[in-house]
Chain A
Amino acid sequence: MYGFEALTFNVHAGYLEAIVRGHRAGLLTAADYNNLCQCETLDDIKMHLSATEYGPYLQNEPSPLHTTTIVEKCTLKLVEDYKHMLCQATEPLSTFLEYITYGHMIDNVVLIVTGTLHERDVHELLEKCHPLGMFDSIATLAVAQNMRELYRLVLVDTPLAPYFSECITSEDLDDMNIEIMRNTLYKAYLEDFYRFCRKLGGATAEIMSDLLSFEADRRAVNITINSIGTELTRDDRKKLYSNFGLLYPYGHEELAICEDIDQVRGVMEKYPPYQSIFSKLSYGESQMLDKAFYEEEVKRLCLAFEQQFHYGVFFAYMRLREQEIRNLMWISECVAQNQKSRVHDSVVFIF
């Protein structure tokens, strides 16, 4: 089934696989979440997190705390882990690790361009960017007036350059064009990442193909639901779906013409892996869909650790850590807003 990874993998990536498995052991457990969900204030959350791997990052933060501060400091932990792994990695693992951050890079580009369109200060926008998606010339994005300039002045020297071939027009940047640019870039990035993993072969190709296909399918569903009732045409909607995944191509044909959530459900229930997700929702409801998708993703990411000698563990760790940070953000918001009864609406347990 696979190649002879067991013979050669540890030569270059054995140390880092051990490191990432150690990091995985530090993820919060159900007991930790139960303690956090019972906190009365953000300072209580900080106190509980002081006993976890986030402790050193939060200990010097003064009261009163803000939810964004907790998220920011926990993200620093993720960034440090990533940078340590990246600086120790050799090819092709280093390229694989860089691919993991391109999604954040796209988000940062769109944030800067959108904020500039709204006449916001570029320094204020840079503070809001995700640290994993930063690159040297990111501040120069603020001078671009259209996508051609965006590409020519800034992005031609970044890893996102190959993804711009479908976006380059001289049209001025407006909200709709920016949204289409975001989704087109992300589609190109996912397809490129998928091709790269297939080229690596072996267990990495097998496991990453499953994880990236799920990501592509989830994106297709979210694009469909979010575009219901908007001016996005069916053809434009279909162009934003990735050209791989379980739903490609027939599921995409059906999703492109959906006009409400029940029609989306009807399409997705034809695919057995997604039946369990939609069975958790009542008809006409989409509020819990995100949580259902996150739960399925976490299940697949945890399964990646059941095998050795592949790069999927690195991707899985990064995504699990991001899910953990999302959980902490939600718990902090519920505590800050005094709505602890709703805390379990969006928390996804990892273990």
Chain B
Amino acid sequence: MEEQDQMQSSIEVEEVEEQQREGKRLEEENVVRFLDSLDSYVTLLDSLSSTLRQGWLELASARQSMGASRINGALLDLKSHSAATSLQVTHHDDEILNQPHFTLCKWASSKNGYGDEKLRENKLQTNSDGPQLRHRSQFAEKIPETKGAPLIVDDQVQKERTKSLSMFGTLVSPKLRAAQLSFETALETLVEIANVRLTMLSTSDQVRKELEGTEG
């Protein structure tokens, strides 16, 4: 009888210790996730800064090449037209990603019924074109799988790019096209920054709650 009581209490002690270990593991996981997202955030901010600097210099170089009368703010089109690029906000309901997610829908044209394909393609591009994010541990977030759109930029996207540059003329310098690509990359980086910031704030909240719970 006493032996049974002793075994029962030792099992309960083991269960409590196991729960404590599990809790500790989860806390560490959250801290690592927070540090990962913070590192990604800083890396992306640096990448955005350098991409924008490159874009502005390429624009100045294009102005130097084509002339100030061909590249200036007075030529921007004020006619109403649909946006070539839009931002979509989706909500994830799973345990890990319980937060909104931003996705860039580049060069989507409602006339072509083209938006959904581009949404998937651009999600892949947004995830693959950004700087390589370092993950300190195996507790990194899993990127949701997509249905497999091709990663190559097709003629339609090239036509949309040319169409948006046409306000400066049809025959534009390669420097202006390079500037366009730089600003496009910067836009993708901005969306990535928004997503990483959301993750960072979410994991920061979780870590703070756990710390407060521990202190309490």
Contact = CB atoms under 8 A, between A and B. Distances in A.
- Chain A bound to chain B: yes
Name, among B64, B167, B171, B173, the residue most crowded by chain A CB atoms within 10 Å (CB to CB): B171
Contact of B171 (A68, A183, A326, A339): A183
A157 interface: no
B77 A342 contact: no
Interface in B53-72: 53, 56-57, 60-61, 63-65, 67-70, 72
Contact of A124 (B74, B173, B175): B74
A232 B173 CA distance: 14
Nearest to A261: B174
A175 B57 contact: no
B93 to A, nearest CB: 44
Contact of A119 (B56, B60, B68, B79): B79
Interface string B72-110: 101111110000000000000000000000000000000
Name, among A118, A183, A223, the residue most crowded by chain B CB atoms within 10 Å (CB to CB): A118
A275 interface: no
Contacts of A125: 74
A342 B56 CA distance: 12
A230 B162 contact: yes
Given A118-B75, A118-B79, A330-B64, A287 B175 contact: yes
B209 to A, nearest CB: 42
B57 A339 contact: yes
Interface string A221-233: 0110111011110
A5 interface: no
Contacts, number: 97
Q: Is the interface of A mostly helix, strand, loop or mixed?
A: helix
A232 B170 contact: yes
Interface string B15-27: 0000000000000
B76 A118 contact: yes
A71 interface: yes
Contact of A175 (B65, B70, B166, B175): B166
Interface in B141-160: 158
B60 A333 contact: yes
Name, among A178, A225, A333, the residue most crowded by chain B CB atoms within 10 Å (CB to CB): A333
Nearest to B68: A71
A229 B176 CA distance: 14
A107 B70 contact: yes
Contacts of A176: 166, 170
B123 to A, nearest CB: 26
Interface in A95-150: 107-108, 110-111, 114-115, 118-120, 124-125, 127-130
A346 interface: yes
B169 interface: yes
A337 B173 CA distance: 21
Given A119-B79, A287-B175, A342-B57, A175 B170 contact: yes
Given A118-B79, A342-B57, 18 more contacts: A107-B67, A107-B70, A119-B78, A119-B79, A124-B74, A125-B74, A128-B68, A179-B170, A183-B171, A222-B173, A225-B173, A230-B162, A230-B171, A287-B61, A287-B174, A334-B57, A345-B61, A346-B64
Interface of A: 68, 71, 107-108, 110-111, 114-115, 118-120, 124-125, 127-130, 175-176, 178-179, 182-183, 222-223, 225-227, 229-232, 286-287, 290, 326, 329-330, 333-334, 337, 339, 342, 345-346
